[in-house]
Chains A and B, each alone.
Chain A
Amino acid sequence: MNKLKKENSFSISEHLKKYAVTYMFIAMSVFFIVVSGLDMNYVASQLLLRLNRNAFIVLALIIPIIAGMGINFAITIGAMAAQIGLLLTINWKVTGVPGILLAAAITLPLASFFGFIIGKLLNKMKGQETIGSMILGYFANGAYQLLFLFIFGNIIPLNDNVTIVGATGVQNTLNLTGDVGLYMAVDGIWHLSFEITLYIILALIAVYMLVRYFIKKGSTIKLACGILALAVVGGVFQIPVINDVFTGRYSGGREINIPVITWAVVGILCLFNAFIMKTRLGQKFRAVGQNRVVANAAGIDVNRTRIIAIMISTVLAGWGQIMFMQSDGIGTFQTYAAHEQVGLYAGAAILVGGASIDRATNFQALIGTFLFHSLFITAQSAASNLFGDSAVGEYFRAFLSYGVIAVALVIYAWRGAQQSKRGGLNLEAIRGEKAMKKL
């Protein structure tokens, strides 16, 4: 008993250490929401909006992390590929869902190709992938500007609706609304109110439980508890204070709507991430991520596996950028700047969620996006309330993004250094062998 307790307490402290960043940010989020004095209904609607907008890109970071390549800041290059796709789609005047599919189709080969090159380069800087991918992103930004300023519209002819008439290059901002018809092309297909969505999900879970009960003959108590829990959740949602946050029914706020298809796409990506880890390729990612030497000894082509990981990530990031661009409330994008912060925000989000340089899950990505954007929404008001100067808020958000990454990296490196002092290197080798056995 005593021993168990000891182990238990040890694991709690380990857990706290492991997720220090996440807990810190949960505390900060709560604090900020309170200090900002913003309407909860507003915060909730913004949060869900941003979650659905950004989740896809953040999820694109998972595979390279598992493959031991750190945070792939080069997803900005995927975003650039997506912007090329969007530009051509606008240029050819393809609208609606076909337009989005066309943009995605153009992104696929482009982003795969870029991903291949990124992978090749990152293989030459093992151990420095995080900074390497970041600088690759900067470098690619130069190439991107060259392409959009001097090659598009000159060497590659484009229509007048996307170029600057009387000068070189593509317009500074590209519009997706109106005739272009890409705005909310996916988001707008099917909306459901948050309330209905919640009850549908609860109902689905209940049905699943029942089906499992009848097929597998599980314990009746478990089933009863499960159904009861669902009923409690459904009931709690009807408490006016909570209900009002999502429906605005009592205070005259806004009703939160859920773009079902977008969420379904994000859900499919989550399933994809989970599924691929169960395949042989996924096991290879894991093995390479845990120990390259052992993986190589086991006959895995380490470099090839890493390139595949980056290619998948880059393509997903590209599609994520398309999903971002079409989403509710965007409408236009800055041709020359829209991709710049993609890597920064996504990287910060996944780190906030408790991912580290070598571990990441779907759940961490989603919770991280949620927390990071809850700070992002409230930071301005909170900072201006705290410091009495509204301009501070703007800078505070920038500090937040960089600071999150710096703190997460420091904590990770710190732990790594401590582990290696305690002989953690062996630990890594053991982990690697375990992964081998799974293969």
Chain B
Amino acid sequence: MNMTTNSNAVAPVIEAIGLQKSYGPLEVLKGLDLSLERGEVVALIGPSGSGKSTFIRCLNMMEIPTGGIIRFRQKRVGDRFRDKGEDIGIGTLRRHVGMVFQHFNLFPHKTVLENVTEGPIVVCKRPKAEARDLAMDLLIQVGLGDKHAAYPAHLSGGQKQRVAIARALAMEPEVLLLDEVTSALDPELVGEVLAVIRGLADKGMTMAIVTHEMAFAADVASRVLFLDQGVIAESGSAEDVILNPQNPRLQGFVARFRG
């Protein structure tokens, strides 16, 4: 241990405290807490309708929580786009917290390269040449350097998702949120996307991953949360939660996915 280690080294990057989300009378999230430390990979598993996607979408305010707070680098996230007083704005939060979606959501009117440079140029105001170099590096990293001039319509699902990951990485995020990123892919394309994510985990990227790939979650996640009916029903290491579940509902859930 180094004497000069500052408190940031152990302080969480992003936290959810007492997070609630309701749609009218429907309570989707019933007070969830989560604290992500730098370099941690947390997998969220659970049956559909358990609230795991809503939860991860609240972490970058894609859904506005109806109760509880989100804290990013120990600062509360407000409800405005811009920073206000002590609160940081939603725009600031999203600039540092990347998200990858189930359905890729690439910009179809822009090339692969433009998809990736859009954030750095428009949001971060970085020089175009610099953004382009960064984007090319990232595309090569996800194995798509040769596709930089293609339009999304000409890519396979797996390629699209890897571009989407590069687009999120181009913002140089401190946290990456992955919302069922392989669920819309043909089975034979899942592996190439998971390989990219595993590479990010190895490099120490902080991630929250909603997934139905149990083997992948067990392999890559340092912590696994089982969400059920809007609460975190169980949490712990992958061995405890996936390989040796105690909660009967979790046992049933995991057994179904083992096949």
A binds B: no
Residues of B within 8 A of A (CB): none
